Amino acid sequence: MTQPARCHHSFSDPYPQPPTPPHPCRYCGTTYQEAKAAMTDSRTYALADVLTLTTGRLLSPRHIEAVYDLANWMTRDNLMTHQLPRAMDACRPALLTQHPQLEGIEPPADIDIPDLMAWLANAERVHGTELPVVPLPAGVWEYRNPIEELCDMVGPERVIVAPLPVADEEQR
């Protein structure tokens, strides 16, 4: 079955009764049981962390650490800086599918810091301070060797790989 780049499953309810026999998602082939198992494997993140990925604006008081933390959790990867834009492209639609109430929630573009903090406090009153987040469904994120991906992005002549000593060599 051909899988679209970003499948969010065609189940109408997050916890529907499984059909008999179980039919897979019509877009990606994920079974009801797989989707339900993925939904139960969640972590709670601050609304500001989630909004950082959905808006593309650094709103979290944890700054870039929040981006790495949430993107690593959702992709089940250990991302390097140059991989973050691709991860955010994969995570944003999944986060909005998990939390459709966040669609269109974005701070004004020309807002100053005190007003931004007030905007975020209001968003937390409306949407809660924390949200559960589940990893991306299988097949949505493609693992790529980070060095090879960087070479593809900027050309191998611009990539310098520094070999690290092996543990035995460090003791000498």
Number of H helices, E strands in the chain: 7, 2
Tens digits of residue pLDDT in 99-118: 999 999 999 999 999 999 99
| One-letter amino acid for residue 114 of the chain | P
Residue 144 phi/psi, 5° resolution? -135, 140
Across 124-152, average pLDDT: 94
Integer CA distances (angstroms), 8 to 29, 34, 119, 128, 134, in order: 11, 13, 29, 24, 12
**Domains of the chain: which residue ranges?**
41-137
pLDDT of residue 145 exceeding 80? yes
Q: Strand, coil or helix: what is 26?
A: coil
User: What sign does the dihedral 149-79-62-116 (CA atoms) show?
Assistant: positive
Across 34-42, average pLDDT: 66
Task: Identify any residues that bridge with 132 across adjacent strands, giving them in sequence order.
Answer: 44
Q: How confident is the model at residue 136 (pLDDT cuts 50, 70, 90)?
A: very high
Tens digits of residue pLDDT in 158-170: 999 888 888 765 5
Across 116-139, average pLDDT: 96
